[in-house]
Amino acid sequence: MTVSDLKIQEPITLPCGLTLPNRLSKAAMAENWADNEYLPTESMLKIYETWAEGGWGSVLTGNVQVDVRYLGSTWDVSPDENIDREKTLASWKKWAKASSKNGTPVIMQINHPGRQSPGGAGKRGFFDKAIAPSAIPLRIGDGIVAKIASAIKFGTPKEMTVEDIQQVIAQFVETSKLAAEAGFAGVELHGAHGYLLSQFLNPSSNHRQDEFGGSPKARAKIIVDIIKAVREAVPKSFCVGIKLNSADFRNKEQLAACIEQLEEITGAGIDFLEISGGSYEDPEMIQGPKSASTLSREAFFLDFAKEIRGRFRSVPLMVTGGFRSREAMESALREDACDIIGIGRPAVLNPSLPKNLIFNKEVKTEDAKAYARKAPDLLLPKLLGIKIMAGGAETNPNNLGEQSTDNGVVPNLKWSFSDSRTRILKGGWVREQVVTDLPSSPDVSGAQFHLEKGAIRELHWHRVAEWGFVYAGHVTVSAVNENGGYEGAELGYGDIWYFPKGVAHSVQGLDTENEFLLVFDDGDFDKIGTTFHVDDWIAHTPRSVLAKNFGVDESVFDSIPPADPYIINGTISTHNVTGASPPLSGDSSFVYRTLQHAPEKIGGSGGELHKIDSTNFPISKTIAAALVTLKPGALRELHWHPNAAEWLYFHKGTAQATVFIGNAAARTFNFRAGDTAAFPDNSGHYIENTSDTEDLVWIEIYKSDRVADISLTQWLALTPPDIVAQTLKVPLEFVEKLKKEKQVLVQ
């Protein structure tokens, strides 16, 4: 099958007359990009402009809350009646214009969180309760800790009066009118993921016995009333869709109730139905059915969608959740399981996914697979207000139930990249961790970088040293030093580069998806005067000076971009550079190929450790590192580092570490892939692999020229045993059996 034959590329016309140019939709996701007036920020507009240029058949916005008093998070977009309506409308018009660039239809998802509005999110009073169909508290997870944490975060909601319900209906209508006037192609009512409309549909959260509860039909009445009222208030060509929750219907009785409700909802006049799944109360929402078929593996909710499909043939059906390959998307459409494919996290990691991957004729079908990390359980991240956007979020259970040995005041030593603001650009994305994110790391900062094929991290240099580690795909790096020494190299997994302060360099992605970790030897990486882009400099230099400097006419610089784009789309370079002298190599090389070297010889049998510092990578004089793989259940032994603080990046697996900072102060932290940490200079600690089946992989970074640690076991073993026994009140025999060789990784 050729790309030109793909059903995914076929247009589809919705009942309202809106035509989507293809079947791929950028699905709605939690974004949290509003300003302090709950209006879209400029950064948000740029991101939507990028999606609009990505070849999507439609773009669904993230949550827009209809009542500013009840938000899902502090930075949700929401109309505020205390702000001039024209100001809101003008802001939304800019948003719609950016989102619909190149003719991409953009549909606004509108929502009310109901009881899932945490305290402090929204313009209600501090002691004012959230609202819900019934006064049933939100319960996240099992156990006393989860119960207490739920109560603290959300409290018990106020049961809505009929007047409250009518007000919410009016708010959905007003938000829809604003969207239509602003230029959005339609709205999608969010009836999934445990939000207010989902709470009304679900008998476990709706115990009412009035016109809005007591039967499946009555529980759907608020949605039916909203749809009818919106239809009367907007043009006929304005699209109205709804998103429902497959996780609420898990047996025949519940499915029958769902069908009864959908008969009412579709009868009110919807243009499409999106099937999603899960809620904050359902930690399993991201786990797919354990079926052997390709479709059920790749679409968590497809089985449910097929049940609905057969009964509501006239309503275009969109399925969102788990689609990653061109093959699975095409199969779902050709088997008539759905009409539209919704794509979430991969659309963040690759905003131009349709154009660059799914519809790209140069990409073979077996290679046309989207890239996304599996998000960990949504339980505690949502509970504690942690944003989830490119996949990858987690919390620290030991903040809720500390180890019995923890004591004193230890500052936070952990930051997850999933909590960082993701800067989405044409050709890739970046998210940083700097000292304002992790105050315990004044010496080191880090960033995750994603480049699409051909995309270039443009030419630049820093006032600090840059250390890079490739963990997905392949990239080329090129660099030039003050002596005209130069080097270009293709790097893959495990390969490292180090560019000293001031060295000019660039990076280009070679595979469809490429990612790498960047580390800098300064925690305050964001401050002005840290990064210098060549196009930014040239754009701010007089043309006459440029012409004189390069010996060319001024017109050569007519197309210099006015502002540095940071990442630019490009084609893979095919040119080799030759200079007066050969490229840098040996001790002068900017590159170190970690996995081409044997791991360190260590006493323990718990895994492998690769050391990368000035002893084997001579140019790396300010950043020393170790790549550690720890077997399931194994331990990075109790130790400390005498020469520097330790910055860590967890690449794979789960871990626990207790950090001792002296004066009887110690604190335990849990880690997952995507987390960073900073353990203070000379603090005692261990790292344990908490998985029974999966290796733990992490990177240790030190602002130093060498990796150094002191083993607690070795120290005690090389100290007179009677002194140790008297100090610790332990048997002398125990001390005498301690190993005198450093173990490092203990099984």
Q: DSSP for 340-390, please give it.
A: EEEE-HHHHH-TTHIIIIIT-TTS-GGG-B---PPP--SHHHHHTT----S
- For 576, counting Cβ atoms within 10 Å of its Cβ (0-12 exposed, 13-18 middle, 19+ buried), the class is exposed
| Mean pLDDT across 678-682 | 97
pTM beyond 0.75: the answer is no
The tens digit of pLDDT for each residue in 73-103 reads 888 999 999 999 999 999 999 999 999 988 9
> With 70 as the cut, is the pLDDT of residue 391 above it?
no
Q: Is the dihedral of CA 642, 646, 651, 653 positive or negative?
A: positive
Query: Would you state the pLDDT for residue 292?
Result: 36
**Average pLDDT of every residue of the chain:** 87
pLDDT of 743 > 50? The answer is yes
Q: How would residue 396 be classed by pLDDT, with cut points 50, 70 and 90?
A: very low
Token pair of 296 as six digits: 């059920």
Q: Which residues contact 615 (CB under 8 A, 6 or more apart)?
A: 706
Angle at 162 between CA 158 and CA 166, to 5 degrees: 105
Question: What tens digit of pLDDT does each residue of 485-519 get?
Answer: 999 999 999 999 999 999 999 999 999 889 999 99
Mean pLDDT of the region 579-604 = 93
- Using one digit for the tens of pLDDT, what is the confidence trace for 329-345? 998 899 888 899 999 88
The CATH topology of domain 7-384 is: TIM Barrel (3.20.20)
Section 467-493 average pLDDT: 96
Q: Is the pLDDT of residue 423 over 70?
A: yes
Most confident range (mean pLDDT) of 108-112, 116-120, 672-676 is 108-112
Return the pLDDT at 247: 65
Known catalytic residues are: 700
Q: Is the pLDDT of residue 632 over 60?
A: yes
Quick one: which of 277, 329, 332 has its CA closest to 301? 277
Contact yes or no for 393/675 (Cβ under 8 A): no
Q: What is d(CA 612, CA 63) in angstroms, rounded to the nearest whole number?
A: 45
AA identity, residue 340: I
DSSP class of residue 681? Answer: T
Number of H helices, E strands in the chain: 20, 38
Which residues contribute to the annotated binding site for Mn(2+)?
A: 460, 462, 466, 505, 639, 641, 646, 685
* Mean local confidence (pLDDT), 282-293: 36
The full set of domain ranges for the chain reads: 7-384, 416-594, 597-746
Orientation angle between helical segments 162-182 and 85-99, nearest 10 degrees: 60
Q: What is the C-alpha separation between 42 and 33, in angstroms, rounded?
A: 9
**Per-residue pLDDT at 200:** 97
Among 1.10.3720.10, 3.40.50.300, 2.60.120.10, 3.40.190.10, what is the CATH number of 416-594?
2.60.120.10
Distance CA(131)–CA(564), nearest Å, equals 46
Strand partners, 625: 612, 701
Tell me phi and psi for residue 722, to 5 degrees.
-70, -30
As a whole number of angstroms, the distance between CA 610 and CA 596 comes to: 10
Q: CB burial class (10 A; 0-12, 13-18, 19+) of residue 281?
A: buried
* Residue 379, pLDDT score: 33
User: What is the reported pLDDT for 139?
Assistant: 76
pLDDT band at 287 (very low <50, low <70, confident <90, very high): very low
Are the C-beta atoms of 48 and 98 separated by less than 8 Å?
Answer: yes
CATH of domain 597-746: 2.60.120.10
What pLDDT is recorded for position 132? 97
Confidence at 141, pLDDT banded by 50, 70, 90: low
pLDDT at residue 362, as a whole number:
83
665-672/635-640 β-pairing = unpaired
416-594 with 597-746: one CATH topology?
yes
Q: Which residues are annotated as a binding site?
A: 460, 462, 466, 505, 639, 641, 646, 685
- Reduce the DSSP state of residue 134 to 3 states and report it: coil
Give the model confidence (pLDDT) of 16-47 as tens digits: 999 999 999 999 987 778 888 999 998 889 88
Name the token pair of 282: 């359902």
